Structure 1
Amino acid sequence: MFESFPVLNDHNLPYPDTVHPIVVHFVIAMVLFAFVCDVIGYFTGKYRLFEVSWWNLFFATISIFVAIIFGQFEAGLAEPYDAVESVLNFHTLLGWSLSGILASITAWRYVIRSRTPHKVPFSYLTLGLILTLLVGVQVYLGDKLVWVYGLHTVPVIEALKEGLLQ
């Protein structure tokens, strides 16, 4: 039965390298850029930036679900050892939460865009700042998973196979 499954490489993946970080960096950039465009548009009156912000949020909302799908798949293949489990679980929980928060903010942004395309309320900017801070926490957790705990890195995969990590 297992012969039909693809062989895992040195990174414990069926494809050359992790896809989740690639997609998620796209999401991070779009969310942060959308917030910056809204803030600049709010304070300068350059309302065309609101349209840029909207489209960035729209595509970020779609992309976050793609990032989550790959993140869940790759986390399952990572064989997390005891020390990493709590960080990975929190990263997963926050990622799913951010998808709902981002989708809600994007829906609200669509309503704002439909009703008053040349301005955004200050309360929306406040929520954008909170979203930006949450994204920052998520980036910190993701960085910790790779740079501290070494998920999907060859030395950690080899240590797991040799039974050195539990």
Structure 2
Amino acid sequence: MLKRLSDGVWLVSTEHPPGTRREEARLRIRDRVRAVLADELGLSVEAISVVSQPGQAPLLLIRGLSQPGLSISHELGFSLAAINLHGPVGVDLMRMQAGTDWQPVARDYLGPEVTARLLATPEYQRPWAFALAWCKQEARLKCHGHRLVEWALAPTMAAPVIELDLPYPYVGAIATP
């Protein structure tokens, strides 16, 4: 899937067959990002690089552009990348699952207000609501260059976040400054 969200902002995804190892999924989405950008920008694939260092967000290098943003998220069977030619971007993806023990995670990472909203959500909608709240928080953190921390330690972030229209059972969000 390729979706242009606004001028210079794209969402790129790849589906992976069962049994795809994480390393292969990482390579596939990076290759897809390079191919899409080459086509969209009229450049050769060689003019675009995705540089990865363990424990750090991937860095997008495009000949002739300074500081484009790239954010990537993976789930079983699906990878998602957000590109912003004008600056930072954050994206997160989650495979919705019913019956997960979401409350301790929400309390620790999303905080009491979000946890209370989730508890007030009808039970049949909670897996989706939890996944969306999680993805929004992760997307904001990634957009601002922060790693996941418990809610009390998380910085205040003003990046607007948009829910993504993804195939079931995936939920996702993108944040841009």
The two structures have a TM-score, normalised by structure 2, of 0.24
Computing the radius of gyration from Cα coordinates, the structure with the larger value is 1
TM-score (norm. length: structure 1): 0.25
